[in-house]
Amino acid sequence: MDAHPQEVWFQFLVNLSRYIDSRISLSRKHSAQVALWARDTARLMDRPEHEVQTIFWAAMLHDIGKIGVPDDILVKCGPLDDDEWYLMRLHPTLGANIVRSAGTLAHIAPLIEHHQERFDGTGYPSGLRGEDIPFGARMLAVVDAYEAMTNNRVYRAARHHGEAADELRRGMGSQFDPQVVEAFLTVVEKGVQPPQNGSRSLSAVL
């Protein structure tokens, strides 16, 4: 029996996410790890299970917009210039537009579009502030930043947990939602494992 078109499209997006991870992350599992940590943190914060699932899949696909960013920008060792930053800042909107085209995944698009917003309103693409940023996007901002810092990238070595945790704490109230930071660090530092309620495992999505 032929696969349903939506299933084919969904698998294509997951494969696209894996390909993008392979361009920037030596582990090639950046998005999958973000998804698992975001899922566990959302459950620890007692979010409804339907929202947990939305966050999980938004995390799995949050970087697919980087398909439109050239490799020499994605893996650049030094600071980006203005033109390079312009292209980089397009990736949340591009990613959101890609998942909207999938129909049944349209509900995760706002989380992808706004995962680079900052809690103080200085992020992009829309400059949203505080709780105007969708909760799932605030979650992704924290977990994505931590995983990026503690993962070996093609252009730099990983930082230790303590350094990354300190960076998250310094960003509380400015870059990050303080409540999300505290919950996430509880998951990471104390190994909290909320009950499993149907999210697919890391092995199931790789």
Q: Could you give the domains of the chain? A: 5-201 (1.10.3210.10)
Place of tokens 């870059």: 175
Q: What is the mean pLDDT of residues 129-139?
A: 98
Tens of pLDDT, residue by residue over 55-87, are 999 999 999 999 999 988 988 888 889 999 999
Query: Nearest 5 degrees, angle CA 170-CA 85-CA 123?
Result: 40
Confidence bin at 204 (pLDDT 50/70/90): very low
pLDDT confidence of residue 84: 94
CA 45 to chain centre: 18
Provide the token pair at 98. 């890609």
pLDDT confidence of residue 154: 64
Dihedral sign from CA coordinates of 75, 17, 120, 145: negative
Tens of pLDDT, residue by residue over 8-23, are 888 889 999 999 988 8
Say whether pLDDT at 168 is over 70: yes
C-alpha atoms less than 13 angstroms from C-alpha of 54 in its C-beta half-sphere: 19
Query: Nearest 5 degrees, angle CA 189-CA 117-CA 55?
Result: 55
Burial degree of 34 (CB within 10 A; 0-12, 13-18, 19+): buried
pLDDT confidence of residue 202: 38
